[in-house]
Amino acid sequence: MPFPLDLHELGTPVTYTIFVFIGIGFGFMLEQAGFGRSTKLAAQFYFKDFAMFRVMFTAVITAMVLVFGAVGIGILDFRKVFVPGTYLWPVAIGGFILGVGFLIGGLCPGTSIAGAATLKLDAMVFLVGVVIGVFVFGETVPYFMGFWSTSDFGRLTLPEWLGIPTGVIVLFIVVFALLLFWGSEVLEKRLDGADPADAPKARYFGAAAIVLVALIVLLLGDPSTADYWDAVAADEQARLDSREVQIHPGELLGLMNDTFVNLVMLDVRDERDYNQFHLRAARQTDPTLESVEAAAPDLIGLTPRSVIVAMSNDERDATEAWKTLVANNVINTYILEGGINEWLEIFGEDADPKPTAYPDQLAFTFTAALGGRCVASDPHSDDFELIYEPKVVIAGPAAVVGGGCG
C-alpha cells in the first residue's frame, strides 16, 4: 500500500510543526555547508569553488533515486507527488533573472535566509530585496499575465517527454552528475589550485552507492496499471462488488441535464458499435488497456465537478475500463449499469432487439448507423418516470505534496 501523502490528515498544528522542523533542518545544513556566505556562492560563477553546485546536485539526485526507488517497490505513488507545471519561456526568463541576481548578490532566496539568520549584513540586504521583488511582482503580474501563462506543458517529466523508462533517465542523470562533479574538481584544480586528493575519500563510496540504487531503480522498472490496481484493489473491488459504482441509466440521464456537473461519457466500444448508436456527446475509446490508459491523463486534470461514466454494450468492457481509470488515479468514475443495452431497453423506442446477443454485444439493431442522431441518444427526462438509487458522489481530488527551493 503506498504511503499516504495527505499530511493535512494529521491536523494543521502537526503539519505546520513538521514543516517548521524541515525548514530549520534545511537552513542549518545550508549554513553548515558555508552557503550563508555570499563569497563562497559567488565563487562558482568564477569556476573556483563548485561546492554549492555539487552539494545541491547531490541532494537532487539523492532525492531522485530514493523517490523512484520507493515508487519501484510500491510504497510511493508518484502520481500524487506535486510536479510544478512547465511554462517553458516564462521559466527560462525567470531563471535568467534569478541567475543574474545570484551572480550580483552571491545569494539565492533560500541561502539569503540562512545568512540573515546568522546576522550577515549582505544576506539581510539581499533578503529585503527579495521581499521587495515579491511585492513588485505580485502588484505587476496582471500586466504580463498573458506571457506568464504561455508555453504551458502541464505536468511534464523527462520520461513522459522522451518516452523512455524512468529507470533509464534516473541512471543517466546520476552518471551525468558524477561526470560533472569530476569535471568541476578538474576546473578547481586548474583555476584555483585546489587538490581533489584533499577531499574526503568517502565521496567515492557515496558515488558508488547512488549508482547502485539507480541500477536498482532501472531493474525495478515503472509500475504498471496492474501494480497500481493491486495497491487499491482491496477497497475498490469491494465497491465494485457491492455495485456502488454502477449507476442506473436514469441517473446518467439526470447528469446529462445537470449544468453543474462536467459530465464525461467514455464509450469503450469499437467504432462499429459506436457509429451504430451512442449517447450524444459520448467520446469513443477502443476497449483496450492501452487506449484507456492513454485517455486517463486528460481525465485527471478535469475540474472537481467532473464525473466520468464508462459504458460498453453491457458492463464487461466498461468494468475493465473503470478499473484502469481508478488505478490511474482518475476520481469520480462510474459505470453505466447494464451498459448501452439497458439504456436502449429503457429509452430506445426506435431500436429493434436482436433475437440473440453474445456477451458485450449490441443487443439492438437500427435501420442505419445513426450514431448520436436519434431520440434515444439524448431523451427528454420529463418523458420518463424512473425509480433508482442515486449513487454519484463528487469527491475532491487527491492531495499532492509539493516543495521547492526558494
> pLDDT digit string (tens) for 135-182?
999 999 889 888 888 888 877 889 988 989 999 999 999 999 999 999
Q: Which three cell numbers stand for residue 368?
A: 442505419
| Cα gap 363→64, rounded to integer Å | 52
**Amino acid 4: pLDDT:** 59
Percentage with pLDDT > 70 across the chain: 94
Q: Tell me, yes or no, whether 337 and 265 share the same domain.
A: yes
**127 assigned to some structural domain:** yes
Task: Tell me which of 224, 247, 277 is where a domain ends.
Answer: 224
Radius of gyration of the chain from its Cα atoms, rounded to whole angstroms: 28
E strand intervals along 180-261: 246-247
**Helical packing angle, 339-347 and 249-256, nearest 10°:** 80
What's the length of the chain?
A: 406
pTM of the model: 0.72
**Same domain as 166, residue 203:** yes
Question: Letter for the amino acid at 17?
Answer: T
* Residues 200 and 246 occupy one common structural domain: no
- At residue 41's C-alpha, the angle toward residues 39 and 42, to 5°, is 65
> Which residue from 252, 251, 257, 279 is spatially nearest to 267, judged by alpha carbons?
279
The Cα 331–Cα 220 span in angstroms is 27
Terminal-to-terminal C-alpha distance of the chain: 32
- What's the mean pLDDT when you consider all of the chain? 87
Instruction: Name residue, grid cell 523512484.
Output: 68
Q: What percent of the chain has pLDDT over 90?
A: 46
Q: Which domain holds residue 330?
A: 226-383
Q: How far apart are CA 71 and CA 74, in angstroms?
A: 5
- What are the tens digits of pLDDT across the range 383-397? 788 889 999 988 765
Residues 179, 265, single domain; the answer is: no
390 occurs within a structural domain:
no
Residues 219 and 230 in one domain: no
Greatest mean pLDDT range, 85-99, 106-120, 309-323: 309-323
171 within domain boundaries: yes
Report d(CA 11, CA 23) in Å as an integer.
Answer: 19
Q: Is residue 132 part of a domain?
A: yes
Q: Are residues 141 and 192 in the same domain?
A: yes
Same domain, yes or no: 119 and 56: yes
Residue 41 lies in a domain: yes
Element containing residue 334 per DSSP (H, E)? strand 333-336
Look up the CATH number of the domain holding residue 260: 3.40.250.10
Sequential DSSP letters for 128-175: HHHHHHHHHHHHHGGGGHHHHT-SB--S--HHHHHT--HHHHHHHHHH
Q: For residue 329, what is the DSSP state? A: T
**Which residues on neighbouring strands pair with residue 267, listed in sequence order?**
284, 311
Whether residues 186 and 232 fall in one domain:
no
Which uninterrupted H or E stretch holds 364? strand 364-365
Task: Look at the chain and report how many structural domains it folds into.
Answer: 2
Is 398 a domain residue?
no
Identify the top-confidence range among 242-246, 351-355, 358-362.
242-246
Residues 39 and 26 in one domain: yes
Same structural domain for residues 42 and 180? yes
Residue 67 β-bridge partners: none
In-domain check, residue 403: no
Q: Please tell me whether residues 192 and 303 are part of one structural domain.
A: no
Strand pairing category for 283-284 and 262-267: parallel
Structure confidence at residue 2 (pLDDT): 59
From 177, 195, 224, the end of a domain falls on 224
Residues 6+ apart with CB under 8 A from 327: 225, 226, 228, 229, 232
Question: Average of pLDDT values for 327-343?
Answer: 93
Q: Is residue 395 part of a domain?
A: no
Measure CA 32 to chain center: 34
Report pLDDT digits (tens) over 237-279.
Answer: 999 999 999 999 999 999 999 989 999 999 999 999 999 999 9
Structure-model confidence comparison of residues 402 and 231, the more confident one = 231
- The pLDDT of residue 399 is 46
- Of the candidates 189, 224, 259, which is a domain's last residue? 224
Verify that 220 and 240 share a domain, yes or no: no
